[in-house]
Structure 1
Amino acid sequence: MTTSTISRTLLATLAAALLTAGCGGSAQDATSSTPTSPGASPSSTAAPELTDQQEPPAVASLDVTIRGGEVIPANTQMDAEVGQPIVIRVNSDAAYELHVHSSPEHSFAIAPTNGQSFQFTVDVPGRVDVELHQLHTTIVTITVVQ
């Protein structure tokens, strides 16, 4: 075989390989940049495909007013899911500490001002009390489900 014939054969083989890779493989195969050694199969390092379009969980929220040592609402109930953002919005005329008995636990310093917002999540299902210890008041008990 002449050098010219070898070059044409090599070029034709390379062109066929490129066409096959571009047409026959998946998008992941065509764009994979994972180096492999000869004879080794490529490993998948791409993120798994999303099969369902899932919305992020809606925020569970509660508005609380503290005036003259009175808490509104008090001893209320609400539901949430594990990992769902929970927001407690507070208007207060005095400084207190908001304590969330969850896993993990959370504590928030309430200032004597309006428009405060405290966000947390709960990682373990169960009943979670949100309290103001100084006022000996449970604001809400949250039932957290999986």
Structure 2
Amino acid sequence: MPTHHRPLGRFTTTIAATFTLVLALAACGSADEDTAPPAEPTDASSSVTLSVATSPAAPVSPTTESADLGPLLTVTIDGDEVSPNAEEIDLGTGEKLRVEIDSDRAGELHVHSASEQFIEFVEGTTNGEIVVNTPGTVEVEDHDTSAVVALIEVR
């Protein structure tokens, strides 16, 4: 019985197209992201908790730490102006980073950890938490402007 073989060129093209599709779907700025609900963490390696504050909070330095509450990242967004700019934060694996966002618009922070995390925020003040259980460097960015807000070194 004769055996049919696929030409190597067609196989290579199929693999390359599949790889390109996977990369495109994994990209941070996909077109479907604006209409899709925020992704939930898919495993126990990371989590995000989100709460919305009803009153403005007092100004706080970008990153402060309280013995009882852990480190705090304060993000301020005024239109396209986002601060801080690549704030460096050291965090232990499994340690909670509190995030306070004061913004003049609604939006989303992306936390580029092993399991992608999102913190949606509203106009006004929004509080959330980031927990990363995988060591390494994690980037936090504002989705609308792609401004890098923080670089978290997880040890």
TM norm structure 1? 0.57
RMSD of Structure 2 on Structure 1 (CA): 1.7
Number of the residue aligned with 2:54: none
Amino acid at match of 1:135: T
CA distance in 1, matches of 2:143, 2:130: 18
Superposition deviation, residue 109 in structure 1: 1.0
Superposition deviation, residue 103 in structure 1: 2.3
Q: Is 1:91–2:91 an aligned residue pair?
A: no
Identity %: 33
CA deviations 1:61-89 (Å, max 9, x no partner) are: 11111012201111111100000001110
CA distance in 1, matches of 2:131, 2:103: 23
Number of the residue aligned with 1:60: 71
| 8 A Cα contact 1:86 1:121, kept in partner | yes
Q: Is 1:129–2:136 an aligned residue pair?
A: no
Superposition deviation, residue 58 in structure 1: 5.8
Q: Which runs of 5+ in 1 are unaligned?
A: 1-55
TM norm structure 2? 0.54
Number of the residue aligned with 2:123: 112
Aligned residues: 89
Q: Which runs of 5+ in 2 are unaligned?
A: 1-66
Specify which structure has the higher proportion of helix. Answer: 1
Number of the residue aligned with 2:83: 72
- Greater relative contact order (Cα < 8 A, sep 6+): 2
